[in-house]
Structure 1
Amino acid sequence: MDVTGTDRRTSGSPAVMARLSLLDRFLPAWIGLAIVLGLTLGRLVPQLNTAVQAVQVGSVSLPIAAGLLLMMYPVLAKVRYDRLDSVTGDKRLLVSSILLNWVLGPAVMFALAWLLLPDLPEYRTGLIIVGLARCIAMVLIWNDLACGDREAAAVLVALNSVFQIVAFAGLGYFYLQVLPGWLHLPQQALQVSVWDIARSVLIFLGIPLVAGFLTRTLGERLRGRIWYEQRLLPKLGPFALYGLLFTIVVLFALQGDAIMSRPLDVVRIALPLLVYFGLMWSLSLLFGKRVGLGYERSATLAFTAAGNNFELAIAVAIGVFGATSGQALAGVVGPLIEVPVLVALVYVALWARRFFRASND
């Protein structure tokens, strides 16, 4: 289904594009407008930053937290929770996701950061932190738009959440201190509370997950599955992208001054991010095809491996290095690059479906 609830899973790419809602069809334009609006607000209303940051959920400002929760809830309300056993039993998918997210992803970002930013240690450290924060939020939107496996996305996001709590601090120590020491490179300390990471996961995944599960369970029990999927979901669906656009506006309003005042630094940070997103997505999609996952689960694997948890990366960078640090700026530039690139990859994924069908014929 698209965000309006229309079933698109069996359609070809041209048919999918023709049947998209107005909101879906011009999503890149809406995202571009949201970015411009956010940057403009940040420049024209400098006191907005202080007002928005005044109230926080965890270490994330309340408006961003509200946008993230609004964005994730409709997608998780679409998940067929009675089908999750078919995903948890797919060992190829689960093992592939762990290897791509927690072995390959951080290693690729570490390599790109050192290769492309050898003279900018603050930005380099910020990018490595971004690489360690695996996506648990926006990936649900990209996966849904690309007609990926919704149930698989829910399971992989939950898996990333568990690994994020358990592994983030340890991987930060390894990639910022141990590995640079082995390679005789400068080292950087990173002190991160496991509870802070767990709290972020519980808020930004736990709340919408419980809400989505209860909505489907109670909705189907009271009114039946047909009413739920044909009447309720089409009304809930668009709020996912409303939440996405609102989040983008607020995020760039908060960081607009830093981005606009250092354009050359943004370009330097953007280059490894562009390479990272494109490389991780392409390798993951091809890997999924190679191991026989089929299009839907290969697309889910690709988007979960390519996306990053920018809210956690920014929160960690600000908490450890300060709001005006280069590490924090690198975290902020992350979604500036990730959002348009992964939107573009949604269209690439829809085009690539034909090759999965051809291999199955």
Structure 2
Amino acid sequence: MSDPTTSPVAGRLSFVDRYLAVWILVAMAAGLGLGRLVPGLGDALAKVTVTGVSLPIALGLLVMMYPVLAKVRYDRLDTVTGDRRLLLPSLLLNWVLGPALMFALAWIFLPDLPEYRTGLIIVGLARCIAMVIIWNDLACGDREAAAVLVALNSAFQVLAFSLLGWFYLSVLPGWLGLEQTALNVSVWEIARSVLIFLGIPLAAGFLTRRLGEKTKGRTWYETKLIPRIGPFALYGLLFTIVVLFALQGDAITSQPFDVARIALPLLVYFALMWAGAMALGKVVGLGYPKATTLAFTAAGNNFELAIAVAIATFGATSGQALAGVVGPLIEVPVLIGLVYVALAVRRYFPDPIAPAAKPAAEPEDSARV
């Protein structure tokens, strides 16, 4: 079997990006090892909170998202907001098909484990707002489109999360004669998660671009500042993964069979949502960048919110909380793998503007993070 790092697709990436899967796996292993080997580390990290939000995780996510959002060309957002071929499929995938699919998979794979099943359904309701920006950027998706779709998901999340939780955990199971569960979460808890994990880095990225271009010009901003702050996205990502897995390292490593039971429906979910969205993007005539953005925003989930809701409602040691933590355990390696799949299928999405003149390698592709 040939080495994937020597393929033409991998050759377009920088050394750091080419081996990103390795760095992520090392960070996951380090976090699990620390959580398992250092007594009380998970409890100590869990206590470092501000208004119920884990400060280490919030710090890592802010550092991770800021450089990517500083790269967004905010003056191009109007070309995305008017694109119904992108916006309507995104709303359908995220708020109709995604929660329904996770509900079905949770009941199919975990009919005898109500706590884990409820945790998975909560994960399915928490649509993407954070790490998906990183995966989209690595796969050379449309940055502006990602910013719009993430903002759109955030607005819908504040308005619809509690209502959907009530429907999928109480109403629909009752209609189907299944076990019902209550989910009590305030709109403020959801809004707070959105404001912290999206609002702060979005505002910082927007102001950085606006002030940087105004004082130094766009050329300086794109060629000098962005390359300097870009690597911090990777540092923030790896730090977040280490902290996240250290928090639940003991629970994950001491219950491997339970983790495997939770992981299986998640694997099916990510594969179906990503592949279905990518195919839909091609069918409706989206080019590769926007189809990729559609796929990653449909497949990704807001695990920060899902974990926070599960802990606040059912407790930190509950099965619902463990299911929420297993979410990123599976999502991170699966979606980074799908980055490589996306780049590999890129050739099936000819450039809608100039299909015969597309360069062999685009300058942006070698400096995505």
TM-score, length-scaled by structure 1: 0.95
Equivalent of 1:31 in 17, 24, 28: 24
Aligned residue for 2:55? Answer: 62
Give the Cα separation in 2 of the matches to 1:241 and 1:168: 30
2:93 is the counterpart of 1:100: yes
Aligned residue for 1:206? Answer: 199
Q: Give, as a single letter, the amino acid of the residue that structure 1 aligns with 2:94.
A: N
Give the Cα separation in 2 of the matches to 1:57 and 1:244: 20
Q: Give, as a single letter, the amino acid of the residue that structure 1 aligns with 2:203.
A: V
Aligned residue for 2:76? Answer: 83
Contact 1:58–1:196 (CA<8 Å) still a contact in 2?
A: no
Aligned residue for 2:346? Answer: 353
Give the Cα separation in 1 of the matches to 2:51 and 2:160: 20
Displacement of 1:33 in angstroms is 0.4
Give the Cα separation in 1 of the matches to 2:275 and 2:264: 17
Q: 4+ residue runs of structure 1 moved beyond 2 angstroms? A: 13-17, 57-60, 358-361
Greater mean alpha carbon deviation, residues 19-28 or residues 67-76: 19-28
Give the Cα separation in 2 of the matches to 1:58 and 1:281: 34
Give the Cα separation in 1 of the matches to 2:274 and 2:50: 31
Displacement of 1:50 in angstroms is 2.5
Give the Cα separation in 2 of the matches to 1:130 and 1:223: 43
Equivalent of 2:187 in 166, 171, 194: 194
CA deviation string 1:53-73 (max 9, x = no partner): 222134331111100101110
2:167 is the counterpart of 1:167: no
State how many pairs are aligned: 349
Displacement of 1:14 in angstroms is 5.3
2:243 is the counterpart of 1:257: no
Displacement of 1:326 in angstroms is 0.4
Aligned residue for 2:145? Answer: 152
Q: 5+ unaligned residues in a row in structure 2: which ranges?
A: 1-5, 357-369
Contact 2:310–2:324 (CA<8 Å) still a contact in 1?
A: yes
Contact 1:74–1:237 (CA<8 Å) still a contact in 2?
A: yes
CA RMSD, 1 decimal: 1.3
Contact 1:57–1:65 (CA<8 Å) still a contact in 2?
A: no
CA deviation string 1:119-176 (max 9, x = no partner): 1000000000000000100000000000000000000000000000000000000000
Q: 5+ unaligned residues in a row in structure 1: which ranges?
A: 1-12
Q: Give, as a single letter, the amino acid of the residue that structure 2 aligns with 1:96.
A: P
Aligned residue for 2:278? Answer: 285
Give the Cα separation in 1 of the matches to 2:48 and 2:184: 24
Displacement of 1:16 in angstroms is 4.9
Secondary structure at the residue paired with 1:357? coil
Contact 2:288–2:351 (CA<8 Å) still a contact in 1?
A: no
Greater mean alpha carbon deviation, residues 121-130 or residues 21-30: 21-30
Q: In 2 relative to 1, CA 327–207 (structure 1 residues): closer, same or farther, beyond 3 Å? A: same
